[in-house]
């Protein structure tokens, strides 16, 4: 049996049409992922305003200020919200993974 030269991706060199189809498929998948990520950023920016408005309504000053107390409140608020969001992500991931 003779050795058939293979391309970098492991496809037989004479099979360029199949390689091109896979390449187009990969480009489409990459574009779709990029668009989904962009839409996610838009959603995040919208929710940012909602969260900041809610925190302002609750009287939480996120500007931090120049004193240690204001900065400490900002750090604690950021940590608490981060933990809560991670819990939400885990719950939603488990819910979305159920069959």
Identify whether residues 74 and 50 lie together within a single domain: no
pLDDT digits (tens, 9 = 90+) for 4-28: 555 555 555 556 666 666 677 788 8
Identify whether residues 65 and 46 lie together within a single domain: no
d(CA 6, CA 14): 9
What's the token pair of residue 60? 């939480």
What mean pLDDT comes out for the span 70-94? 81
The overall average pLDDT reported for the chain is 75
Identify whether residues 44 and 71 lie together within a single domain: no
Identify whether residues 66 and 25 lie together within a single domain: no
pLDDT digits (tens, 9 = 90+) for 23-45: 777 888 888 888 888 888 888 88
Answer yes or no: are the C-beta atoms of 61 and 70 closer than 8 Å. yes
Identify whether residues 6 and 51 lie together within a single domain: yes
Identify whether residues 5 and 53 lie together within a single domain: yes
Domain boundary among 27, 42, 59: 59
d(CA 89, CA 7): 41
């Amino acid at each position: 049996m003779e050795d058939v030269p293979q391309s970098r991706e492991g496809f037989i060199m004479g099979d360029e049409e199949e390689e091109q189809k896979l390449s187009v498929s990969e480009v489409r998948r990459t574009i779709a992922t990029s668009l989904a990520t962009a839409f996610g950023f838009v959603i995040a920016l919208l929710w940012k305003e909602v969260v900041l408005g809610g925190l302002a309504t609750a009287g939480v000053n996120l500007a931090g200020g120049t004193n240690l107390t204001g900065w400490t409140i900002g750090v604690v608020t950021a940590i608490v919200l981060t933990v809560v969001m991670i819990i939400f992500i885990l719950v939603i991931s488990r819910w979305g993974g159920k069959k």
